Amino acid sequence: MQYRTLGRTGVQVSSLALGAMNFGKIGRTTQDEATAIVDAALEAGINVIDTADRYSEGESEEMVGKAIAGRRDDIVLATKASMPMGDERNHQGSSRRWLITELDNSLRRLGVDHVDLYQIHRWDPSTSDEETLSALTDLQRAGKIRYFGSSTFPAYRIVQAQWAAREHHLSRYATEQPGYSILQRAIETHVLPVTEEYGLGVLVWSPLASGWLSGAIRAGQEVATNRSALLPERFDLTIPSNRTRLDAVERLAGVADEAGLTMIQLALGFVTAHPAVTSALIGPRTLDHLHSQLAAADTVLSADVLDAIDAIVAPGTDLAPHEKYDTPPALLDPSLRRR
């Protein structure tokens, strides 16, 4: 396992981090299975566990808490908030009111008195940066969080938040957690240059592109992954963008074979090769999934392999841009771009 410094925090973190989104009903993972995955991940040298209040409505946090009991101090523990938690209109967002309330809920579910990294799961356009940063700074000073970060923020919002922190003399986001894979590379255009400029640690999610790069999706085979059952439209091969992805996967499989690598090694080795990326979040649903992903822990891709990947999916290109979560609101709501 490789270790890197998380932004400017001085904290050393593993290049692969354990994402717990599949713990609970989303991945149909039991407590015993989750604990076994955590045990194996820690034994392999992973020291970061990332979850969120939203994952299975808090069940993931509860399962992580039980799995790490008795060894909290050996783990860099991260969670997230701001996504809706139920139907109550104020049980979401990044207001001071909600963040303070929901952090206490997360700490209770995790069974800990603090988290190392508290992340805003999605940018909340209805709340000012000053409001959010002020609440997070107070939680940090109270000792309930060590650092805080953003997740899936557009580049301009990352910059704005950095300036707001400076202007109002508040602590700043120390990390960003964007989606990134061989098939979704648009963050190379703006987000990653910005994180490098401001010295943010970067924990990337979905490096296997929801299973497209796991080796389980190939031409001539039935798509039967857990994710395809949850989101069938993302794997419907009658949709042109999905056909484009499959064509890219077939070409990438040839690159992996020639290099003597699995598709997972190729995919994880690609994202961890970028100098702006600190860690790649893996989200195994089973122990077998975890072991296949741990095999990429020390994978270092040669320049020839990286060039071959660039020739298949150009730098800065998303093959499925409609699946992004950082689209500016004005592109989604016509009323926001018309006088």
Residues belonging to the active site: 55
Q: Which residues of 215-253 are buried (b: 16+ CB within 10 A; e: fewer)?
A: bbbeeeeebebbbbeeeeebbeeeeeebeebbebbeebb
Give the whole-angstrom CA distance, residue 244 versus residue 239: 9
Give the whole-angstrom CA distance, residue 45 versus residue 43: 5
Element of type H or E holding 63: helix 59-67
- Contact between residue 149 and residue 175 where contact means Cβ atoms under 8 Å apart: yes
Strand-strand pairing, 76-81 and 115-120: parallel
The token duo for 62 is: 């509860």
Residue 18: how many CB atoms within 10 A of its CB? Answer: 28
Element of type H or E holding 117: strand 115-120
Identity of residue 198: Y
Strand-strand pairing, 175-177 and 279-282: unpaired
First to last CA, the chain: 54
Please report the DSSP string for 255-297 in residue order.
Answer: HHHHHT--HHHHHHHHHHHSTT--EEEE--SSHHHHHHHHTTT
